[in-house]
Structure 1
Amino acid sequence: MIQLRFLLFLFLLPGIAQAQKTPEIPFTFGEELNFEVSYGWINLADAKMQISHAPQVHDEKPHYKIDVYGKTKGAAALFGKVNDNWGTHWNAESRLPKLSYRHIEEGRYRKHEKVFFDQENRKAEMQLFDRENRELKEVKEFDLPGQVQDLVSGFYYLRTLDLRTLKAGDYVTIKGFFDKEIYNIKLIFEGTERLKTELGEKDTFIFSPQIPKNKLFRGEFPVKVWVTQDQNKIPVKIKANLFLGSLNLDIISAKGLRYN
């Protein structure tokens, strides 16, 4: 299920740096977005993005606890069962993560990890746990090149930016910390499109991350992400063109949105 994991990774690319921040956060506690992942006519998995109903407190400041889940379903599990959880504790004031975590179950593979961010001193401490997520096995510290987003927080940071200032052909640079590495990826703004979704017709912004040549995807810009132009700025679709067919992630329901 490498394709599913990589698609979810692209779905959660760390945030963009150049557009201006909006004064209000476009989401709130209790928001839940549900998606279906498909390959052609085959429904591979379900994915969910969920904000807790109550804040988490770090350094006497409230943080959003945001979780993303990906789980194979039906016959797709026969080819490699996936049951993953990515999460972040995100400070609405600084718009930066304090804690990120991953609980990965893919076939027989297991990984349980926490990363604590000291954004002011440009440090990150990674804690690795055993297969059962009971015992701390390893601690590593990393230097950061500046303020960074994590795998989950980046997309929510993206939603706080004023995307209306971008013009087709503009690009923004992504900086984030994930899996011991700093990532800088160019994200191209392609323009707008009115898209039919399970939530009705939506006016959307379209982004394409520039991906290095590889054996999985077709073309220089094989992935497209559609984000609504309304005040909520939620993702409603991702499409990845593979060498054989395409992988799609489509929204099927949304609740707890800040704006109706």
Structure 2
Amino acid sequence: MKSKFFKALLGLLLCSSTANAANPVSLVDETLTYDVMYKWGFINKVAGYATMTLRNDGDLYRASVYAENAPWANSIYMLRDTLYTTMTKDGFFPVSYTYIAHENGKYKKDVLHFQHDGNTFTADAVRYKRSAPGEPMTSSTLHLEAQGMTVDMLSSFFYLRTLDFDNMKNGQSIAVNIFSGSKKEKLRITYKGKKSVSLNGRTFSAYYINFTFTRKGVESSEPISGWISTDGQRIPLKVEGSLPVGKVRAIYTGPNP
């Protein structure tokens, strides 16, 4: 569930340097909350929660997201994950990224520092891991490089909100690179037009998209669907992906100042 959740909610895409972009966007300080729903047959329960924040800091944006299980799911799989990103306001280029995971006694921390020169993006990544409580901490390093717009799993969420969906054709696809502490992937987004989505008794007009992750030309996840509000905030309202058993959905529950 963790992998699907973060690829759906946080890997919410972006575009290559040739994609259509909207007019320059200035995002306001915000805190957004989500329920993570698990559905399998007659089971349809809140399995977790996520809170995402954005803060302005001079020429930079600083963002974070925290995700955890619902209490009933702790006995099945303990999850406490936190992500941080710093990105430029001009271009939404990532500067640094940190991913911290606590899962069933295991610990992992990825730290990336980004640079770019023209169309070439690089990152030096350090991964810290502890396989079980009391076990020694290990570390490894990795240098990543790609051509074309490159983001991390969290900065992609905000870059997406600058895309000019109104001038994209139904079925048009765009792609971008994503770096993590262990690999680089390609994220491809396909615009599917406008649709209405109902959440918590309200109906929203939304841009409907499908997206996939690929690594070395092979899809690393099944297609994921997303709905993004058409208003000025461009809030991701819902994302949905399949699991080996059942489906997982991240549902927007509103601002939480």
* TM-score, scaled to structure 1: 0.82
1:12 aligned residue (10, 24, 34): 10
Q: Give the letter for the 2:228 counterpart.
A: V
| Distance apart, 1:105 and its partner CA | 0.7
Q: Which residue of the partner structure matches residue 97 of structure 1?
A: 94
Which consecutive residues of structure 2, in runs of 5 or more, have no partner in the other structure?
A: none
Correspondence for 1:201 among 177, 200, 203:
203
Correspondence for 1:51 among 49, 54, 58: 54
Q: What residue in structure 1 maps to residue 21 of structure 2?
A: 21
Paired with 1:184 and 1:216, the residues of 2 have a C-alpha distance of 11
Out of 145, 165, 168, the residue aligned to residue 147 of structure 2 is 145
Please report how far the alpha carbon of residue 251 of structure 1 lies from its aligned counterpart in structure 2 after TM superposition. 0.8
In structure 1, C-alpha distance between the alignment counterparts of 2:178 and 2:219, rounded to whole Å: 21
Post-superposition CA distance 1:145-198 (Å, at most 9, x none): 344111111121110121111122111113221233221232211111111123
Match of 2:193?
Answer: 191
Distance 2:157 2:150 in 1: 12
Contact 2:8 / 2:241 at 8 angstroms: preserved in 1? no
- Which residue is equivalent to 2:45? 42
Equivalent position SS for 2:150: coil
**How far apart are the structure 1 equivalents of 2:139 and 2:212?**
36
- Preserved contact between residue 61 and residue 89 of structure 2 (Cα < 8 Å): yes
Q: Percent identity?
A: 17
* Greater alpha carbon shift after TM alignment, 190-199 vs 89-98: 190-199
1:224 corresponds to: 225
Uncovered stretches (5+) of structure 1, i.e. residues with no partner: 56-60
Q: What is the deviation of 1:234?
A: 0.5
Instruction: Give 1:216 shift.
Output: 8.2
Partners of 1:136 and 1:196 in 2: how far apart?
46
CA contact (8 A) 2:37 2:248 kept: yes
After superposing the two structures, state which structure 1 stretch, 38-47 or 239-248, moved more.
239-248
* Cα 1:26–1:237 shift into 2, 3 Å: farther
2:69 is aligned with 1:67:
no
- 2: distance between equivalents of 1:255 and 1:25? 22
Q: Which amino acid aligns with 2:21?
A: K
Change (3 A) 1:173 1:215: closer
Look up the SS of the partner of 2:97 in the other structure.
strand
Q: Distance in 2 between matches of 1:215 and 1:159?
A: 24
109, 127, 138: which one aligns with 2:106:
109
Q: Distance in 1 between the 2:219 and 2:128 partners?
A: 31
Rounded to whole Å, the distance in 2 between the matches of 1:15 and 1:179 is: 19
Equivalent AA in structure 2 for residue 4 of structure 1: K
RMSD: 2.6
Q: Does 1:248 align with 2:217?
A: no
| TM-score in terms of structure 2 length | 0.83
Query: What letter is aligned with 1:86?
Result: L
Quick one: structure 1 residues 215 and 39, their matched pair in 2 at CA, closer, same or farther if it must change by over 3 Å? farther
Instruction: Give the counterpart letter for 1:11 in structure 2.
Output: L
Asked whether the 8 Å contact 2:213–2:221 carries over to 1, the reply is: no
CA deviation profile, 1:85-125 (whole Å, cap 9, x unmatched): 11110100132010011011111221112100011263311
Shift of 1:43: 1.3
The question of whether the paired residues in 2 share the 8 Å contact of 1:199 and 1:253 is answered with: no
Name the CA shift for 1:19/1:255 in 2 (closer, same or farther; >3 Å): farther
CA gap of 1:157–1:236, structure 2 versus 1, over 3 A, is same
SS of residue in 2 equivalent to 1:20? coil
Offset of 1:224 from its aligned partner?
0.9
Query: Is the Cα–Cα contact under 8 Å of residues 142 and 182 in structure 2 kept in the other structure?
Result: no
Offset, 1:144? 3.1
**What is the one-letter code of the residue matched to 1:184?**
K
Question: Retained in 1: the 8 A contact 2:14–2:189?
Answer: no
